[in-house]
A = this chain, B = another copy of it.
Amino acid sequence: MNNAKLLDRARELKPILHHEVVEPVGGFQLKERYSPEKEEIVLHKLHHLAMGRGQNLCLDFGSHHVGYITLDLSYTGSHPDAPAFLKLKFAETMKELSENSDNYDGWISRSWIQEEYVHVDVLPSHVTLPRRYAFRYLKITMMDTSPKYKLVIRSAECMTETSADRGRAEPFPTGDALLDRIDEVSLRTLANCMQDVFEDGPKRDQRLWMGDLRLQALTNYVSFKNNNLVKRCLYLFAGSRFPDGKISACLFTRPTVQADDTFLLDYALFFAVALEEYLQETGDEEALNDLYDIAMQQIEIALRMCRDHVVTEDAVKDLFVDWCDELDKTACAQAIIIYALRYARRLARRKNDWSQATWLLEQSEGMKKAAREHFWDEEKQCFVSNGQISIASQVWMVLSDTLSPDEAAELMGRSEEFMDRCPMATPYMYHYYVMALLRSGLFDKAMEVIRWYWGSMLKTGTDTFWEAWNPDQPDASPYGNGGSVINSYCHAWSCTPAFFLRRYRLHEKTAS
Protein backbone atom coordinates (compact mmCIF):
# COMPACT_ATOMS: atom_id res chain seq x y z
CA MET A 1 0.00 0.00 0.00
CA ASN A 2 2.24 2.72 -1.29
CA ASN A 3 2.04 6.23 0.08
CA ALA A 4 2.63 8.58 -2.82
CA LYS A 5 3.65 11.56 -0.70
CA LEU A 6 6.35 9.63 1.15
CA LEU A 7 7.61 7.95 -2.01
CA ASP A 8 7.73 11.28 -3.84
CA ARG A 9 9.92 12.61 -1.04
CA ALA A 10 12.12 9.51 -1.33
CA ARG A 11 12.44 10.15 -5.06
CA GLU A 12 13.55 13.72 -4.45
CA LEU A 13 16.30 12.33 -2.23
CA LYS A 14 17.74 10.10 -4.96
CA PRO A 15 21.51 10.25 -4.52
CA ILE A 16 24.10 11.47 -6.97
CA LEU A 17 26.18 8.53 -8.11
CA HIS A 18 29.94 8.99 -8.19
CA HIS A 19 32.03 7.31 -10.87
CA GLU A 20 35.66 6.46 -11.27
CA VAL A 21 37.46 4.54 -14.01
CA VAL A 22 39.68 1.71 -12.83
CA GLU A 23 41.88 -0.57 -14.88
CA PRO A 24 43.42 -3.95 -14.17
CA VAL A 25 46.60 -3.91 -12.14
CA GLY A 26 47.58 -7.42 -13.16
CA GLY A 27 46.51 -10.58 -14.87
CA PHE A 28 47.00 -14.29 -15.04
CA GLN A 29 45.80 -17.40 -16.81
CA LEU A 30 44.25 -20.29 -14.93
CA LYS A 31 46.20 -23.37 -15.95
CA GLU A 32 43.07 -25.43 -16.13
CA ARG A 33 39.61 -24.06 -16.64
CA TYR A 34 38.58 -24.75 -13.06
CA SER A 35 41.67 -24.75 -10.96
CA PRO A 36 43.26 -22.24 -8.66
CA GLU A 37 46.68 -22.82 -10.25
CA LYS A 38 47.65 -19.82 -12.22
CA GLU A 39 50.35 -18.34 -14.37
CA GLU A 40 51.03 -14.65 -13.85
CA ILE A 41 51.22 -12.38 -16.86
CA VAL A 42 53.37 -9.27 -16.82
CA LEU A 43 51.14 -6.21 -16.94
CA HIS A 44 52.55 -4.79 -20.16
CA LYS A 45 51.91 -8.09 -21.93
CA LEU A 46 48.31 -8.31 -20.77
CA HIS A 47 46.82 -6.50 -23.70
CA HIS A 48 48.81 -8.28 -26.40
CA LEU A 49 47.74 -11.81 -25.58
CA ALA A 50 46.18 -13.57 -28.59
CA MET A 51 43.37 -15.78 -27.32
CA GLY A 52 42.13 -18.82 -29.20
CA ARG A 53 39.44 -21.38 -28.39
CA GLY A 54 39.49 -22.54 -24.78
CA GLN A 55 42.04 -20.02 -23.51
CA ASN A 56 41.36 -17.84 -20.50
CA LEU A 57 42.61 -14.54 -19.23
CA CYS A 58 41.94 -13.30 -15.72
CA LEU A 59 42.15 -9.61 -15.01
CA ASP A 60 42.78 -8.37 -11.48
CA PHE A 61 41.28 -4.94 -10.89
CA GLY A 62 43.32 -4.53 -7.72
CA SER A 63 40.44 -4.34 -5.27
CA HIS A 64 36.72 -4.91 -5.00
CA HIS A 65 34.65 -2.70 -7.29
CA VAL A 66 31.03 -2.21 -8.21
CA GLY A 67 30.39 -0.93 -11.68
CA TYR A 68 30.14 -1.40 -15.40
CA ILE A 69 32.73 -3.06 -17.55
CA THR A 70 33.96 -2.04 -20.98
CA LEU A 71 36.27 -4.21 -23.06
CA ASP A 72 38.20 -2.86 -26.00
CA LEU A 73 38.45 -5.91 -28.24
CA SER A 74 40.54 -6.50 -31.30
CA TYR A 75 42.13 -9.46 -33.09
CA THR A 76 45.23 -10.89 -34.70
CA GLY A 77 45.19 -12.89 -37.93
CA SER A 78 42.61 -12.54 -40.69
CA HIS A 79 39.54 -10.35 -40.42
CA PRO A 80 37.20 -12.25 -38.09
CA ASP A 81 34.91 -14.43 -40.17
CA ALA A 82 32.76 -15.51 -37.21
CA PRO A 83 31.68 -13.80 -34.00
CA ALA A 84 33.90 -13.97 -30.96
CA PHE A 85 32.09 -16.04 -28.35
CA LEU A 86 33.20 -15.21 -24.81
CA LYS A 87 32.29 -16.29 -21.35
CA LEU A 88 32.77 -13.62 -18.73
CA LYS A 89 32.89 -14.49 -15.07
CA PHE A 90 33.03 -11.74 -12.48
CA ALA A 91 34.28 -12.83 -9.08
CA GLU A 92 34.72 -11.09 -5.77
CA THR A 93 37.28 -13.66 -4.60
CA MET A 94 39.88 -15.96 -6.12
CA LYS A 95 38.02 -19.01 -4.89
CA GLU A 96 34.86 -17.94 -6.68
CA LEU A 97 36.90 -17.27 -9.82
CA SER A 98 38.36 -20.73 -10.10
CA GLU A 99 35.23 -22.68 -9.20
CA ASN A 100 32.93 -24.37 -11.69
CA SER A 101 29.59 -22.79 -11.01
CA ASP A 102 27.84 -25.66 -12.77
CA ASN A 103 28.38 -27.48 -9.49
CA TYR A 104 26.24 -25.01 -7.60
CA ASP A 105 23.15 -26.74 -6.34
CA GLY A 106 22.01 -24.49 -3.52
CA TRP A 107 18.67 -23.14 -2.51
CA ILE A 108 18.82 -19.62 -3.87
CA SER A 109 18.70 -18.79 -7.53
CA ARG A 110 21.74 -19.50 -9.64
CA SER A 111 20.74 -16.42 -11.61
CA TRP A 112 22.87 -14.42 -9.16
CA ILE A 113 26.07 -16.05 -10.37
CA GLN A 114 27.89 -13.31 -12.22
CA GLU A 115 28.52 -15.09 -15.51
CA GLU A 116 27.64 -14.00 -19.00
CA TYR A 117 28.01 -15.49 -22.44
CA VAL A 118 28.62 -12.80 -25.02
CA HIS A 119 28.80 -12.91 -28.81
CA VAL A 120 30.78 -10.07 -30.36
CA ASP A 121 29.81 -9.67 -34.00
CA VAL A 122 32.09 -6.79 -34.93
CA LEU A 123 35.82 -6.52 -34.25
CA PRO A 124 37.53 -4.30 -33.33
CA SER A 125 34.90 -2.90 -31.03
CA HIS A 126 34.20 -1.59 -27.58
CA VAL A 127 31.84 -3.83 -25.68
CA THR A 128 30.08 -2.36 -22.65
CA LEU A 129 28.01 -4.84 -20.70
CA PRO A 130 24.63 -3.47 -19.68
CA ARG A 131 24.56 -5.01 -16.19
CA ARG A 132 26.37 -3.86 -13.08
CA TYR A 133 28.80 -6.28 -11.42
CA ALA A 134 30.53 -6.54 -8.06
CA PHE A 135 34.01 -7.97 -8.49
CA ARG A 136 37.73 -7.78 -8.19
CA TYR A 137 38.53 -10.42 -10.82
CA LEU A 138 37.21 -10.86 -14.34
CA LYS A 139 37.85 -14.17 -16.07
CA ILE A 140 37.43 -14.09 -19.82
CA THR A 141 37.22 -17.49 -21.49
CA MET A 142 37.24 -17.78 -25.28
CA MET A 143 34.43 -20.19 -26.05
CA ASP A 144 35.30 -19.89 -29.73
CA THR A 145 36.86 -17.64 -32.30
CA SER A 146 37.50 -19.21 -35.70
CA PRO A 147 40.61 -20.82 -37.12
CA LYS A 148 41.35 -17.54 -38.92
CA TYR A 149 41.78 -15.16 -36.02
CA LYS A 150 42.48 -14.81 -32.32
CA LEU A 151 41.03 -12.31 -29.91
CA VAL A 152 43.05 -9.56 -28.27
CA ILE A 153 41.76 -7.67 -25.26
CA ARG A 154 43.34 -4.29 -25.91
CA SER A 155 42.09 -2.86 -22.65
CA ALA A 156 39.47 -3.30 -20.00
CA GLU A 157 38.03 -0.77 -17.64
CA CYS A 158 35.47 -0.63 -14.91
CA MET A 159 33.37 2.48 -14.41
CA THR A 160 32.66 2.25 -10.71
CA GLU A 161 29.46 3.47 -9.16
CA THR A 162 28.65 4.50 -5.59
CA SER A 163 26.65 7.14 -3.78
CA ALA A 164 29.40 7.37 -1.16
CA ASP A 165 31.56 10.45 -1.50
CA ARG A 166 34.82 8.82 -0.46
CA GLY A 167 36.44 12.20 0.12
CA ARG A 168 34.07 12.91 3.01
CA ALA A 169 35.36 10.04 5.15
CA GLU A 170 38.13 11.47 7.31
CA PRO A 171 41.38 9.57 7.62
CA PHE A 172 41.44 7.64 10.85
CA PRO A 173 44.96 6.49 11.62
CA THR A 174 45.00 4.34 14.75
CA GLY A 175 48.70 3.58 14.71
CA ASP A 176 47.81 -0.10 14.45
CA ALA A 177 48.17 -1.69 11.00
CA LEU A 178 45.49 -4.33 11.55
CA LEU A 179 42.94 -1.81 12.82
CA ASP A 180 43.75 0.58 9.98
CA ARG A 181 43.17 -2.23 7.49
CA ILE A 182 39.92 -3.28 9.22
CA ASP A 183 38.72 0.33 9.04
CA GLU A 184 39.68 0.62 5.39
CA VAL A 185 37.97 -2.63 4.42
CA SER A 186 34.87 -1.69 6.41
CA LEU A 187 34.54 1.60 4.55
CA ARG A 188 35.10 -0.04 1.16
CA THR A 189 32.40 -2.57 2.04
CA LEU A 190 30.01 0.22 2.97
CA ALA A 191 30.84 2.41 -0.05
CA ASN A 192 30.37 -0.48 -2.48
CA CYS A 193 26.93 -1.16 -0.96
CA MET A 194 25.90 2.51 -1.18
CA GLN A 195 24.09 2.87 -4.44
CA ASP A 196 20.65 4.20 -5.30
CA VAL A 197 19.73 2.86 -1.85
CA PHE A 198 21.79 1.16 0.84
CA GLU A 199 22.05 -2.30 -0.71
CA ASP A 200 22.69 -5.37 1.42
CA GLY A 201 25.24 -6.63 -1.09
CA PRO A 202 26.05 -5.37 -4.58
CA LYS A 203 26.65 -8.81 -6.09
CA ARG A 204 23.47 -10.47 -4.93
CA ASP A 205 20.08 -9.28 -3.73
CA GLN A 206 21.07 -5.64 -4.26
CA ARG A 207 18.13 -4.83 -2.09
CA LEU A 208 17.35 -2.46 0.73
CA TRP A 209 16.93 -4.48 3.95
CA MET A 210 15.92 -2.74 7.14
CA GLY A 211 18.33 -4.70 9.32
CA ASP A 212 21.27 -3.86 7.09
CA LEU A 213 20.16 -0.26 6.70
CA ARG A 214 20.39 0.38 10.43
CA LEU A 215 24.02 -0.83 10.55
CA GLN A 216 24.98 0.94 7.33
CA ALA A 217 23.49 4.19 8.61
CA LEU A 218 25.56 3.97 11.81
CA THR A 219 28.79 3.48 9.87
CA ASN A 220 27.78 6.14 7.35
CA TYR A 221 27.42 8.74 10.13
CA VAL A 222 31.07 8.29 11.09
CA SER A 223 32.35 8.23 7.50
CA PHE A 224 30.63 9.32 4.27
CA LYS A 225 27.83 11.22 6.02
CA ASN A 226 25.35 10.77 3.19
CA ASN A 227 22.49 11.36 5.61
CA ASN A 228 20.01 12.04 2.84
CA LEU A 229 20.51 8.49 1.63
CA VAL A 230 19.48 7.23 5.08
CA LYS A 231 16.46 9.54 4.98
CA ARG A 232 15.55 8.32 1.50
CA CYS A 233 15.64 4.71 2.66
CA LEU A 234 13.50 5.45 5.72
CA TYR A 235 10.93 7.15 3.50
CA LEU A 236 10.97 4.20 1.09
CA PHE A 237 10.16 1.79 3.92
CA ALA A 238 7.53 4.13 5.35
CA GLY A 239 6.02 4.67 1.92
CA SER A 240 5.58 1.02 1.04
CA ARG A 241 4.12 -0.64 4.13
CA PHE A 242 1.84 -3.67 4.07
CA PRO A 243 -1.92 -2.96 4.21
CA ASP A 244 -1.86 -3.58 7.98
CA GLY A 245 0.78 -0.91 8.45
CA LYS A 246 3.73 -3.21 9.03
CA ILE A 247 7.08 -2.29 7.58
CA SER A 248 8.51 -4.88 5.25
CA ALA A 249 11.86 -6.50 5.91
CA CYS A 250 13.12 -5.37 2.54
CA LEU A 251 11.95 -3.67 -0.60
CA PHE A 252 12.49 -3.44 -4.32
CA THR A 253 13.00 -0.18 -6.16
CA ARG A 254 12.78 -1.45 -9.72
CA PRO A 255 10.76 -1.13 -11.85
CA THR A 256 8.84 0.74 -9.12
CA VAL A 257 9.09 0.80 -5.34
CA GLN A 258 7.49 -2.29 -3.90
CA ALA A 259 7.78 -3.96 -0.53
CA ASP A 260 8.88 -7.56 -0.55
CA ASP A 261 6.30 -9.83 1.05
CA THR A 262 8.70 -10.74 3.85
CA PHE A 263 7.96 -9.49 7.36
CA LEU A 264 10.54 -9.72 10.15
CA LEU A 265 9.50 -8.29 13.49
CA ASP A 266 13.05 -7.33 14.53
CA TYR A 267 13.59 -5.53 11.22
CA ALA A 268 10.26 -3.65 11.54
CA LEU A 269 11.28 -2.52 15.04
CA PHE A 270 14.63 -1.32 13.73
CA PHE A 271 12.71 1.26 11.72
CA ALA A 272 12.07 3.12 14.97
CA VAL A 273 15.66 2.56 16.07
CA ALA A 274 17.14 3.79 12.78
CA LEU A 275 14.81 6.79 12.72
CA GLU A 276 15.86 7.80 16.23
CA GLU A 277 19.54 7.45 15.36
CA TYR A 278 18.99 9.48 12.18
CA LEU A 279 17.36 12.23 14.25
CA GLN A 280 20.24 12.18 16.75
CA GLU A 281 22.51 12.78 13.80
CA THR A 282 20.47 15.39 11.93
CA GLY A 283 17.68 16.79 14.12
CA ASP A 284 15.57 16.63 10.94
CA GLU A 285 12.10 17.92 11.94
CA GLU A 286 10.50 16.96 8.64
CA ALA A 287 11.49 13.33 9.07
CA LEU A 288 10.29 13.31 12.67
CA ASN A 289 6.90 14.68 11.64
CA ASP A 290 6.50 12.44 8.60
CA LEU A 291 7.73 9.19 10.14
CA TYR A 292 6.95 9.34 13.85
CA ASP A 293 3.50 7.73 13.65
CA ILE A 294 4.81 4.97 11.44
CA ALA A 295 7.64 4.18 13.82
CA MET A 296 5.19 4.07 16.74
CA GLN A 297 2.92 1.82 14.72
CA GLN A 298 5.72 -0.78 14.49
CA ILE A 299 6.18 -0.66 18.27
CA GLU A 300 2.47 -1.05 18.88
CA ILE A 301 2.27 -3.96 16.45
CA ALA A 302 5.03 -5.68 18.43
CA LEU A 303 3.38 -4.97 21.76
CA ARG A 304 0.13 -6.49 20.50
CA MET A 305 2.11 -9.69 20.00
CA CYS A 306 2.73 -9.87 23.76
CA ARG A 307 0.46 -11.09 26.54
CA ASP A 308 1.08 -9.97 30.12
CA HIS A 309 4.35 -8.40 28.93
CA VAL A 310 5.63 -11.67 27.51
CA VAL A 311 6.05 -12.36 23.80
CA THR A 312 3.68 -14.85 22.22
CA GLU A 313 4.41 -17.22 19.35
CA ASP A 314 3.28 -14.41 17.00
CA ALA A 315 6.30 -12.32 17.90
CA VAL A 316 8.74 -15.19 17.52
CA LYS A 317 7.67 -16.70 14.24
CA ASP A 318 8.92 -13.89 12.00
CA LEU A 319 12.22 -12.95 13.54
CA PHE A 320 15.64 -12.97 11.96
CA VAL A 321 18.26 -12.55 14.76
CA ASP A 322 20.84 -14.71 12.96
CA TRP A 323 21.19 -17.56 10.50
CA CYS A 324 20.70 -20.47 12.80
CA ASP A 325 17.79 -22.84 12.30
CA GLU A 326 18.11 -24.34 15.79
CA LEU A 327 18.11 -21.02 17.60
CA ASP A 328 15.17 -20.57 19.98
CA LYS A 329 14.31 -16.94 19.41
CA THR A 330 11.77 -16.37 22.19
CA ALA A 331 14.13 -14.57 24.55
CA CYS A 332 15.54 -12.57 21.66
CA ALA A 333 12.05 -11.46 20.65
CA GLN A 334 11.35 -10.28 24.20
CA ALA A 335 14.69 -8.47 24.35
CA ILE A 336 14.50 -6.83 20.94
CA ILE A 337 11.08 -5.37 21.74
CA ILE A 338 12.46 -3.92 24.98
CA TYR A 339 15.47 -2.61 23.08
CA ALA A 340 13.25 -0.89 20.49
CA LEU A 341 11.08 0.58 23.25
CA ARG A 342 14.12 2.54 24.48
CA TYR A 343 14.48 4.21 21.06
CA ALA A 344 10.72 4.69 20.77
CA ARG A 345 10.69 6.54 24.09
CA ARG A 346 13.40 8.87 22.84
CA LEU A 347 11.32 9.50 19.73
CA ALA A 348 8.26 10.31 21.84
CA ARG A 349 10.29 12.75 23.91
CA ARG A 350 11.61 14.44 20.76
CA LYS A 351 8.02 14.78 19.60
CA ASN A 352 6.94 16.12 22.99
CA ASP A 353 4.48 13.23 23.06
CA TRP A 354 4.73 12.81 26.84
CA SER A 355 1.78 10.53 27.42
CA GLN A 356 3.17 8.16 24.82
CA ALA A 357 6.59 8.34 26.43
CA THR A 358 5.13 7.44 29.79
CA TRP A 359 3.15 4.58 28.32
CA LEU A 360 6.23 3.24 26.55
CA LEU A 361 8.20 3.37 29.78
CA GLU A 362 5.49 1.34 31.53
CA GLN A 363 5.60 -1.21 28.75
CA SER A 364 9.36 -1.38 28.88
CA GLU A 365 9.48 -1.81 32.65
CA GLY A 366 6.77 -4.46 32.49
CA MET A 367 8.60 -6.38 29.79
CA LYS A 368 11.94 -6.18 31.60
CA LYS A 369 10.36 -7.55 34.75
CA ALA A 370 8.70 -10.32 32.78
CA ALA A 371 11.98 -11.05 31.00
CA ARG A 372 13.70 -11.64 34.33
CA GLU A 373 10.87 -13.87 35.48
CA HIS A 374 10.58 -15.92 32.31
CA PHE A 375 14.06 -16.10 30.87
CA TRP A 376 16.64 -15.52 33.64
CA ASP A 377 17.93 -18.71 35.23
CA GLU A 378 19.19 -17.91 38.70
CA GLU A 379 21.07 -21.14 39.01
CA LYS A 380 22.80 -20.96 35.65
CA GLN A 381 23.13 -17.17 35.91
CA CYS A 382 22.16 -16.63 32.28
CA PHE A 383 19.12 -16.34 30.04
CA VAL A 384 17.45 -19.52 28.90
CA SER A 385 14.97 -19.57 26.05
CA ASN A 386 12.68 -22.58 26.17
CA GLY A 387 15.47 -24.59 27.72
CA GLN A 388 18.08 -23.39 25.25
CA ILE A 389 21.10 -21.33 26.21
CA SER A 390 22.46 -19.31 23.32
CA ILE A 391 24.79 -16.37 22.92
CA ALA A 392 22.07 -14.55 20.95
CA SER A 393 19.71 -14.59 23.93
CA GLN A 394 22.42 -13.19 26.24
CA VAL A 395 23.45 -10.51 23.75
CA TRP A 396 19.97 -9.19 23.17
CA MET A 397 19.02 -9.29 26.81
CA VAL A 398 22.13 -7.27 27.63
CA LEU A 399 21.29 -4.79 24.90
CA SER A 400 17.75 -4.49 26.28
CA ASP A 401 19.14 -3.23 29.64
CA THR A 402 17.16 -5.89 31.47
CA LEU A 403 20.20 -6.51 33.67
CA SER A 404 21.99 -4.00 35.83
CA PRO A 405 25.34 -2.78 34.41
CA ASP A 406 27.24 -5.00 36.82
CA GLU A 407 25.17 -8.04 36.01
CA ALA A 408 25.61 -7.36 32.31
CA ALA A 409 29.38 -7.04 32.68
CA GLU A 410 29.50 -10.26 34.61
CA LEU A 411 27.38 -12.10 32.03
CA MET A 412 29.28 -10.81 29.01
CA GLY A 413 32.57 -11.43 30.77
CA ARG A 414 31.88 -15.13 30.45
CA SER A 415 30.17 -14.95 27.07
CA GLU A 416 32.41 -17.71 25.63
CA GLU A 417 30.44 -20.14 27.78
CA PHE A 418 27.35 -19.66 25.60
CA MET A 419 28.90 -20.24 22.22
CA ASP A 420 28.28 -23.98 21.90
CA ARG A 421 24.62 -24.04 20.96
CA CYS A 422 23.84 -21.94 17.89
CA PRO A 423 27.20 -20.25 17.44
CA MET A 424 26.97 -16.88 15.77
CA ALA A 425 26.94 -17.29 11.98
CA THR A 426 27.18 -13.78 10.60
CA PRO A 427 28.97 -10.46 11.02
CA TYR A 428 25.46 -9.13 11.64
CA MET A 429 25.14 -11.13 14.88
CA TYR A 430 28.75 -10.37 15.73
CA HIS A 431 27.90 -6.68 15.47
CA TYR A 432 25.32 -7.01 18.24
CA TYR A 433 27.72 -9.17 20.25
CA VAL A 434 30.35 -6.40 20.12
CA MET A 435 27.64 -3.85 20.97
CA ALA A 436 26.68 -5.91 24.02
CA LEU A 437 30.31 -6.04 25.12
CA LEU A 438 30.63 -2.28 24.70
CA ARG A 439 27.38 -1.66 26.57
CA SER A 440 28.83 -3.76 29.39
CA GLY A 441 31.99 -1.67 29.38
CA LEU A 442 34.14 -4.57 28.16
CA PHE A 443 36.19 -2.52 25.71
CA ASP A 444 39.21 -4.84 25.67
CA LYS A 445 37.03 -7.83 24.98
CA ALA A 446 35.15 -5.96 22.24
CA MET A 447 38.42 -5.05 20.58
CA GLU A 448 39.61 -8.61 20.87
CA VAL A 449 36.51 -9.86 19.04
CA ILE A 450 36.93 -7.28 16.30
CA ARG A 451 40.58 -8.21 15.82
CA TRP A 452 39.87 -11.90 15.87
CA TYR A 453 36.64 -12.06 13.84
CA TRP A 454 36.99 -9.35 11.18
CA GLY A 455 40.76 -9.63 11.31
CA SER A 456 40.63 -13.31 10.41
CA MET A 457 38.53 -12.48 7.34
CA LEU A 458 41.39 -10.29 6.11
CA LYS A 459 43.65 -13.33 5.99
CA THR A 460 41.69 -14.56 2.95
CA GLY A 461 43.08 -11.54 1.12
CA THR A 462 39.65 -9.95 0.84
CA ASP A 463 39.13 -6.27 0.16
CA THR A 464 35.61 -6.21 1.58
CA PHE A 465 33.88 -7.94 4.46
CA TRP A 466 31.61 -10.90 3.87
CA GLU A 467 27.99 -11.83 4.35
CA ALA A 468 28.86 -14.96 6.33
CA TRP A 469 32.09 -15.83 8.06
CA ASN A 470 33.20 -18.62 10.31
CA PRO A 471 36.95 -18.46 10.96
CA ASP A 472 37.00 -22.23 11.45
CA GLN A 473 35.27 -22.92 8.12
CA PRO A 474 36.40 -20.19 5.74
CA ASP A 475 34.73 -21.83 2.70
CA ALA A 476 31.33 -22.40 4.28
CA SER A 477 28.22 -21.10 2.58
CA PRO A 478 24.75 -20.68 4.00
CA TYR A 479 23.39 -21.56 0.57
CA GLY A 480 24.09 -25.26 0.23
CA ASN A 481 26.23 -27.30 -2.17
CA GLY A 482 28.74 -25.30 -4.14
CA GLY A 483 27.31 -22.20 -2.50
CA SER A 484 30.58 -20.36 -2.20
CA VAL A 485 30.10 -19.04 -5.75
CA ILE A 486 26.86 -17.42 -4.64
CA ASN A 487 28.02 -16.01 -1.29
CA SER A 488 28.14 -12.26 -1.07
CA TYR A 489 31.70 -11.18 -0.32
CA CYS A 490 30.89 -7.52 0.06
CA HIS A 491 28.01 -7.34 2.45
CA ALA A 492 26.74 -4.26 4.20
CA TRP A 493 25.99 -5.76 7.58
CA SER A 494 29.66 -6.54 8.08
CA CYS A 495 30.86 -2.93 7.71
CA THR A 496 30.47 -1.84 11.36
CA PRO A 497 34.05 -2.24 12.70
CA ALA A 498 34.65 1.26 11.29
CA PHE A 499 31.68 2.43 13.36
CA PHE A 500 33.05 0.79 16.53
CA LEU A 501 36.52 2.20 16.02
CA ARG A 502 35.49 5.70 15.02
CA ARG A 503 32.50 6.23 17.30
CA TYR A 504 34.03 4.71 20.42
CA ARG A 505 37.70 5.52 19.62
CA LEU A 506 38.33 1.98 20.77
CA HIS A 507 42.05 2.05 20.02
CA GLU A 508 42.46 4.75 22.68
CA LYS A 509 40.37 2.92 25.30
CA THR A 510 41.88 -0.50 25.10
CA ALA A 511 45.03 -2.07 26.36
CA SER A 512 46.38 -3.53 23.15
Please tell me if the beta carbons of B124 and A111 are within 8 angstroms of each other in the complex.
no
Closest to A250 in B: B81
Please tell me if the beta carbons of B131 and A121 are within 8 angstroms of each other in the complex.
yes
- Residues on B with beta carbons closer than 8 Å to the beta carbon of A108: 82, 146
Please tell me if the beta carbons of A144 and B82 are within 8 angstroms of each other in the complex.
no
- Residues on B with beta carbons closer than 8 Å to the beta carbon of A112: 82-83
Closest to A205 in B: B81
- Stretch of A251-259, A325-333, A340-348, A389-397 with 4 or more beta carbons under 8 angstroms from chain B: A251-259
User: How many Å from the CB of A161 to the closest CB on chain B?
Assistant: 14
CA distance A119 to B114 in the complex (A): 10
Is A313 an interface position by the 8 A CB rule?
A: no
Please tell me if the beta carbons of B84 and A111 are within 8 angstroms of each other in the complex.
yes
- Residues on B with beta carbons closer than 8 Å to the beta carbon of A146: 108-109, 111
CA distance A112 to B145 in the complex (A): 10
User: How many Å from the CB of A483 to the closest CB on chain B?
Assistant: 14
CA distance A145 to B260 in the complex (A): 16
Is A432 an interface position by the 8 A CB rule?
A: no
Is A505 an interface position by the 8 A CB rule?
A: no
Please tell me if the beta carbons of B117 and A117 are within 8 angstroms of each other in the complex.
yes
Residues of A whose CB lies within 8 Å of any CB of B are: 78-79, 81-85, 107-112, 115-117, 119, 121-125, 131, 143-147, 205, 207, 252, 254-255, 258, 260-261
- Residues on B with beta carbons closer than 8 Å to the beta carbon of A261: 78-79
Known interface pairs A119-B116, A131-B119. Does A144 touch B111 (Cβ–Cβ under 8 Å)?
A: yes
Please tell me if the beta carbons of A110 and B143 are within 8 angstroms of each other in the complex.
yes
Closest to A204 in B: B82
- Residues on B with beta carbons closer than 8 Å to the beta carbon of A85: 109-111
Chain B CB count within 10 A is highest, among A81, A85, A107, A144, for A81
User: How many Å from the CB of A363 to the closest CB on chain B?
Assistant: 34
Known interface pairs A82-B108, A109-B145. Does A124 touch B254 (Cβ–Cβ under 8 Å)?
A: no
Please tell me if the beta carbons of A109 and B125 are within 8 angstroms of each other in the complex.
no
User: How many Å from the CB of A113 to the closest CB on chain B?
Assistant: 8
CA distance A467 to B254 in the complex (A): 46
Q: Which 8 A-B pairs have the closest CB atoms?
A: A85-B111, A82-B109, A109-B146, A83-B111, A111-B144, A117-B117, A122-B254, A110-B144
Please tell me if the beta carbons of B109 and A144 are within 8 angstroms of each other in the complex.
yes
CA distance A343 to B255 in the complex (A): 63
CA distance A146 to B204 in the complex (A): 13
- Residues on B with beta carbons closer than 8 Å to the beta carbon of A205: 81
- Residues on B with beta carbons closer than 8 Å to the beta carbon of A109: 82-83, 85, 144-146
Closest to A142 in B: B111
Can you sample 9 A-B contacts with CB below 8 Å?
Answer: A78-B260, A81-B252, A82-B109, A82-B111, A82-B112, A83-B111, A85-B110, A111-B145, A122-B254
CA distance A83 to B115 in the complex (A): 12
CA distance A79 to B208 in the complex (A): 14
